[in-house]
Amino acid sequence: MLGEVKLQVKLMDRMGTDLTVVNAARVSFAKESEWESIPEGGEIEGLLSHGDEKLIKYLAKHNHWSPFGHCSMQFHIKAPIFVARQLVKHQVGLVWNEVSRRYVDDEPEFYVPKAWRLKAENKKQGSSDEAIEYNLGSTLEFVKTTYQNMLKAGIAPEMARMVLPQNLYTEWFWSGTLMAFARVCNLRCKSDTQWETQLVAGMIDIQAKEKFPASWKALRDD
């Protein structure tokens, strides 16, 4: 249904583990836990005891969010501007630094679906499962050529970028707490989210689950 999708979500860095969450909670009682066992292979740091797993579930169920704030992740993401503008609305517990076309004037790269989803009949926003082919013709080539000609004419990149559309790919670094990214995924992995935005949230979801299996399971709605 879609053209070549060049969305990228790469985990660049992270701080903490499930055990970090446990010990952030247990410090209230001057207690500290250790891994129940450490598996061979190094895919995960260790396995929690049954009691520590129950504690994480309790914290999430009863809205004790602060222990989850001691763990964080940083992602490098590449996606169309319209996806970025949906995701940047999430502000609490997150920080964002994006490529700026005030400074960067490399060749524009565009996201183009193979088929275009139709408007949903009973919704003010969103799309249906039906799609049609629609040929943009030379529209994007015209845009790209116009942009490049403006730069050649000496027009500042911060002005020339005004002709670039929302399907232009952009890149950004996105960092935040485990709790903050769980809120993003709880909202943006839902079926009523725009499909392209779901893809990005889904890739965050997969990587967070790998690094924080117990905490992520407790924080996610599904």
Taking 3-state DSSP, the helix, strand and coil percentages for the chain, each rounded to the nearest 5, stand at 40, 20, 40
Q: Which residue has the tokens 């660049």?
A: 12
| Sequential DSSP letters for 131-167 | EE----TTHHHHHHHHHHHHHHTT--HHHHGGG--TT
Give yes or no for a contact between 38 and 49, defined as CB atoms under 8 angstroms apart: no
74: β partners? 13, 175
DSSP type of residue 40:
T
Cα–Cα distance for residue pair 218/212, rounded to 1 Å? 10
Give catalytic residues, as residue numbers.
188
Query: Coil, strand, or helix at residue 20?
Result: helix
